[in-house]
């Protein structure tokens, strides 16, 4: 492949597109407006703690993980299957009898979820495991997760005690109004692999992709904000009259410099991708997320067996994650690190002390024998655009990578579904589409 490609945006999608194009022989320059690559997958070090910028996890069974990443090199610290369902005075383990037979014993005994709903869970797992991986998104009969589970016959208690906090954490929407397609895909993925975080933090994922891209010859320029993308001889993309065979494009940066290029991959965040290309089907409605990070003196275990603590009784916090029990590297030796997630627009504006008090009250109610007075806030991440909103039907209306006119293609989770899998996969598809212009 001969020719020059410019990639706008150094999130997972842009990094995969750049690496793949360079590996195929193209000359590739990637512009990222922030000081570092990673986009929505970033990690910071604060007071010796490793903090992902918003708690998130990698599903090891995602097909794009095998295709794009070296999972061994990421050194994944795995959560145990299932979750611990918490309410005042009680903690109950809900595990996966197929993947974790030992955990299944307390799981079968716990009375938060009925035996028939546990059997229904296995039947659902079996049903989804027989589906083709490419057959999950954009179908004609979409519905909300809540409607889907009702149709399957799950009891309201199962949905309230387990699915609301657990899938609230995955879709960042505890109301379960998100598309059932996200539930089906992720539920199937959890049956096939673990969820976990790299020992050095989630940013190890984009950093490994950036290393791969540089080795293939990609020039990565950070702190480089792209202002406009124009196709040859025409105006800014949204206003041009369009000629599909336009030769080349010009990328203009905020500092006024320009770059002539044969093809452009726009891998910016959805609202910015829409501004740059004018493609109106790019979804721009955001789902926010707030993550609080908390420290305690190292010591007593949370006795979850490396499971997430789900708040079955209250919505705030949605869940508490015993982070350093799962990934000891995230905390200094003398401290324990917890993450807590808060959902909904209103949590964006709540003061850090109010969030910490919710976490302290929840822990004190779940572990009445313990004292959490020493719980300290390490940091709070408020992410306004964590995922694009995914109501039922949304995936059928997402843009195609080659929707922009001229030699410009789209990459980003917003061409697939809002996830690491969606972003990585979109980078591969965009690289193929951009290669068609070289």
Ligand X SMILES: Cc1cc2nc3c(=O)[nH]c(=O)nc-3n(C[C@H](O)[C@H](O)[C@H](O)COP(=O)(O)OP(=O)(O)OC[C@H]3O[C@@H](n4cnc5c(N)ncnc54)[C@H](O)[C@@H]3O)c2cc1C
> d(Cα 275, Cα 231) in Å, to the nearest integer?
15
Instruction: For residue 106, report the phi and psi dihedrals to the nearest 5 degrees.
Output: -60, -30
Q: Rounded to the nearest 5 degrees, what angle is found at the Cα of 34, between the Cα atoms of 28 and 40?
A: 95
33 binds ligand X (CB under 6 A): yes
340 binds ligand X (CB under 6 A): no
Return the residue of 68, 142, 207, 272 that touches ligand X, per CB under 6 A.
272
Widest pairwise Cα distance in the chain: 72
Return the residue of 80, 182, 237, 423 that touches ligand X, per CB under 6 A.
423
Return the residue of 262, 418, 425, 431 that touches ligand X, per CB under 6 A.
418
Give me the 113-152 binding string for ligand X, x by CB under 6 A, dash otherwise.
Answer: ----------------------------------------
* Residue 383 token pair: 């992410």
Return the residue of 3, 6, 7, 12 that touches ligand X, per CB under 6 A.
12
Instruction: Name which of residues 211 to 250 contact ligand X (CB under 6 A).
Output: 225-226
Instruction: For residue 68, report the phi and psi dihedrals to the nearest 5 degrees.
Output: -115, -20
Instruction: Name which of residues 41 to 60 contact ligand X (CB under 6 A).
Output: 41, 54, 56-57
> d(Cα 397, Cα 138) in Å, to the nearest integer?
8
Q: From 30-38, 92-100, 319-327, 396-404, give the range in contact with ligand X by CB under 6 A.
A: 30-38
Instruction: Name which of residues 278 to 297 contact ligand X (CB under 6 A).
Output: 289
> d(Cα 208, Cα 204) in Å, to the nearest integer?
6
Give me the 364-383 binding string for ligand X, x by CB under 6 A, dash otherwise.
Answer: -------------------x
Least distance CB 33 / ligand X (angstroms): 4
- Nearer to ligand X by Cβ, of 9 and 248: the residue is 9
Q: What is the DSSP string of 24-63?
A: TT-EEEEEESSSSS-TT--EEEETTEEEESS---EETT-H
168 binds ligand X (CB under 6 A): no
Q: What is the DSSP string of 234-296?
A: S-BGGG----TT---EEEEETTS-EEEESEEEE-S-HHHHHHHH--TTS---EEEEEEEEEEE
Chain residues binding ligand X by CB under 6 A are 8-14, 31-34, 39-41, 54, 56-57, 225-226, 267-269, 272, 289, 383, 386-387, 412-413, 418-423
């Amino acid at each position: 492949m001969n020719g020059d490609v410019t990639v706008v945006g150094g999130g997972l999608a842009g990094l995969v597109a750049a690496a793949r194009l360079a590996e195929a022989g193209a000359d590739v320059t990637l512009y990222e407006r922030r000081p570092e690559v990673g986009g929505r997958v970033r990690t910071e070090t604060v007071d010796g703690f490793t903090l992902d910028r918003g708690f998130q996890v990698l599903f090891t069974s995602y097909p794009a993980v095998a295709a794009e990443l070296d999972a061994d090199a990421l050194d994944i610290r795995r959560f145990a299957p299932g979750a611990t369902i918490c309410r005042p005075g009680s903690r109950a383990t809900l595990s996966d009898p197929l993947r974790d037979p030992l955990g299944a014993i307390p799981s079968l005994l716990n009375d938060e979820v009925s035996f028939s709903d546990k059997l229904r869970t296995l039947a659902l797992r079996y049903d989804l495991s027989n589906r083709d991986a490419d057959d999950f998104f954009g179908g004609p009969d979409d519905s909300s997760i809540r409607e889907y589970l009702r149709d399957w016959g799950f009891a309201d208690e199962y949905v309230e005690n387990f699915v609301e906090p657990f899938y609230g954490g995955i879709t960042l929407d505890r109301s379960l109004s998100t598309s059932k397609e996200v539930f089906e895909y992720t539920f199937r993925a959890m049956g096939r692999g673990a969820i976990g975080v790299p020992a050095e933090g989630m940013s190890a994922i984009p950093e490994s992709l950036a290393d791969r891209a540089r080795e293939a010859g990609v020039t990565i320029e950070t702190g480089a904000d792209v202002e406009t993308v124009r196709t040859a001889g025409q105006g800014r993309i949204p206003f041009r009259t369009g000629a599909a065979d336009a030769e080349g494009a010009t990328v203009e940066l905020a500092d006024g410099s320009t770059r002539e290029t044969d093809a452009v991959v726009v891998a910016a965040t959805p609202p910015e991708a829409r501004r740059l290309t004018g493609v109106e089907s790019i979804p721009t409605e955001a789902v926010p997320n707030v993550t609080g990070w908390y420290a305690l003196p190292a010591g007593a275990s949370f006795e979850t067996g490396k499971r997430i603590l789900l708040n079955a009784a209250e919505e705030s916090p949605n869940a508490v994650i015993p982070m350093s029990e799962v990934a000891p590297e995230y905390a200094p030796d003398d401290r324990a690190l917890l993450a807590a997630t808060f959902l909904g627009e209103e949590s964006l504006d709540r003061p850090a002390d109010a969030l910490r008090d919710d976490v302290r009250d929840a822990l004190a109610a779940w572990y009445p024998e313990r004292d959490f007075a020493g719980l300290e806030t390490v940091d709070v991440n408020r992410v306004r655009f964590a995922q694009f909103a995914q109501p039922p039907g949304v995936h059928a209306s997402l843009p195609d990578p080659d929707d922009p006119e001229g030699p410009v293609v789209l990459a980003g989770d917003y061409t697939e579904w809002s996830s690491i899998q969606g972003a990585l996969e979109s980078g591969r598809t965009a690289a193929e589409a951009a290669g068609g212009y070289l």
